[in-house]
Structure 1
Amino acid sequence: MNIIPAIDLLDGQVVRLQKGDYNKKTVYNHNPIEEAAKFKTAGFDHIHVVDLNGAKSGSFENLPIIKTIINELGLTVQTGGGVRSQDDIQNLLDAGLSGIICSSMAVKKTDEFIDAIHNNPDKIILGLDLKDGKMAYGGWLETSDKPIEDFLNPMIKAGLSRVLSTDIARDGMLTGPNFEMYSDLQSRFPDVKWIASGGVSNLQDLIQLNSIGVDGVVVGKAYYEGHIGLDDMAHLHSANS
């Protein structure tokens, strides 16, 4: 299981939101480059960065920071937030991103998203964010009633291999991941590499996710609040990668 440290960017700062609420933010570092350097020093070579400004506006406002992380620190970065079109995807690929997470585009422009999968199957990651069992998008401000199977199966057929799934009700709450949800998703879609996100509260949560067999897990608030040490994260990551 790959452990992927997270940096959420809002107005150029490292923050975490509670349940995706932009009015409930905590600032952890005013210098995201410094934060990313900590992960590199600990032995991580890949991180998860979300442009929260972009998720609302559709403009990659924090892209210069992400490019600095890639070019100066040598980390690979998967990113989401503000991806609305194939042109957006290409701009991010040209900027050096190794993984592009799409949520709103996949819901609103499904055919275009499927084309993007065909063009870059190893770079496209579906962001499947769930709010009360429904798919959420647009910075988690909108939901869709479309069944998950109807949504996912054509994408998997097109070559989609990775899905990052977040239970929004648990994101930033330190209440533990929705283990049943991830087990269910894996059993229903066994050809997908599932990346868990949201709710991780301690090292035991990571161990349990590893036992379930998810491909990866994004760790954010639990690290920033001191519930999981960076050394423990790095040790578990190296032992399972």
Structure 2
Amino acid sequence: MKVIPAIDLLDEKVVRLHKGDYDEATIYNDDPPAEAQIFKEAGFDHIHVIDLNGAKEGRFVNLDIISQIISKTGLSVQTGGGIRSYRDAKMLLDAGISNIICSSMAVKSSDEWLKILDEYGSRAILGMDLKDGKVAYGGWLETLDKSLKDFLQPMIDRGLSTVLSTDISRDGTMAGPNLKLYQELSEHFPQLNFIASGGVSDVSDLQALAEQDRYGVVVGRAYYEGNLSLKEMRKYHSAE
């Protein structure tokens, strides 16, 4: 299982939100490259970076900071937030981002999203936020009136391989990941790699996800709040 440390960027600082609420942002570090270096020195080679300014403004804002992280640490980065078009995605991938994560675009601009899948394949990750079992988008305020199969199958047909799935009721809460949800997703879509996101609270959650043979997990608040150590994260991490 890939354990992927998270850095959420807001106003050039490392923060975490509670259930996506910008008014509930906790600042953990005002030097994002330094934070990334901590993960590098702990033995991680890939991190998850979200541009919260970009997600709010509808345009990618923090490319300069992410470029600094890459150049200073050598880490590979998967990133999302404010990616609204094929042009946005191409810009980021051409700038050295290893993977881009798109969510709203897959709903609102599906033709452009499918074009990205056609051209970049596994470098394109679907960010699938779920609310009561339905795909949520538009800042989690709207849900898609379509089954998951009808939503995902056209993307699978075009080469989608990896989905970062967040149960938004648990994001930033440390209430534990929705293990049942991830198990059901894997059973219904065995051809996809699912990265769990949201709710990880301590090492027992990593153990439970590893026992499910989950492809990956993003770890954020649990680490920043001291509930999970880098050593514990490394124990369950495999780069393969």
Same fold (TM over 0.5): yes
| Equivalent pair of 2:171/2:197 in contact (CA under 8 Å) | yes
Instruction: Say which is worse superposed, 59-68 or 129-138, in terms of deviation.
Output: 129-138
User: Structure 1 stretches (4+) deviating beyond 3 angstroms?
Assistant: none
Q: Deviations over 1:38-81 (max 9, x none)?
A: 00000000000000111111222111110011111100000010
Letter in 1 for 2:24: K
SS of the equivalent of 2:183 reads: helix
Letter in 2 for 1:56: K
| Identical aligned residues as a percent | 60
Shift of 1:83: 0.7
Question: Equivalences for 1:59-138 in 2 at 5 Å?
Answer: 59-138=59-138
Question: In 2, Cα distance between the equivalents of 1:155 and 1:83?
Answer: 17
Question: In 2, Cα distance between the equivalents of 1:139 and 1:32?
Answer: 24
Name 2:23's counterpart in structure 1: 23
Question: In 1, Cα distance between the equivalents of 2:213 and 2:153?
Answer: 21
SS of the equivalent of 2:130 reads: strand
Shift of 1:106: 0.3
Question: In 2, Cα distance between the equivalents of 1:200 and 1:118?
Answer: 33
Name 1:147's counterpart in structure 2: 147
SS of the equivalent of 2:199 reads: coil
Q: Tell me the C-alpha RMSD between the 2 structures.
A: 1.1
| Equivalent pair of 2:7/2:14 in contact (CA under 8 Å) | yes
SS of the equivalent of 1:237 reads: coil
Shift of 1:112: 1.6
SS of the equivalent of 2:34 reads: helix
SS of the equivalent of 1:120 reads: helix
Question: In 2, Cα distance between the equivalents of 1:11 and 1:131?
Answer: 27
Name 2:213's counterpart in structure 1: 213
CA spacing shift, 1:143–1:56, aligned 2, 3 Å: farther
Q: Is 2:57 aligned against 1:57?
A: yes
| Equivalent pair of 2:210/2:236 in contact (CA under 8 Å) | no
Shift of 1:116: 0.9
Which TM-score applies when normalising by structure 2?
A: 0.97
Question: In 1, Cα distance between the equivalents of 2:141 and 2:38?
Answer: 32
Letter in 2 for 1:5: P
Question: In 2, Cα distance between the equivalents of 1:33 and 1:143?
Answer: 35
Shift of 1:149: 1.0
SS of the equivalent of 1:195 reads: strand
| Equivalent pair of 1:9/1:51 in contact (CA under 8 Å) | yes
Shift of 1:143: 2.5
Shift of 1:146: 1.9
Which TM-score applies when normalising by structure 1?
A: 0.97
SS of the equivalent of 1:5 reads: strand
* Stretches of structure 1 lacking an aligned partner (at least 5 in a row): none
Name 1:164's counterpart in structure 2: 164
* Stretches of structure 2 lacking an aligned partner (at least 5 in a row): none
Query: How many aligned residue pairs are there?
Result: 240
Instruction: Say which is worse superposed, 17-26 or 40-49, in terms of deviation.
Output: 17-26
Question: In 2, Cα distance between the equivalents of 1:143 and 1:22?
Answer: 20
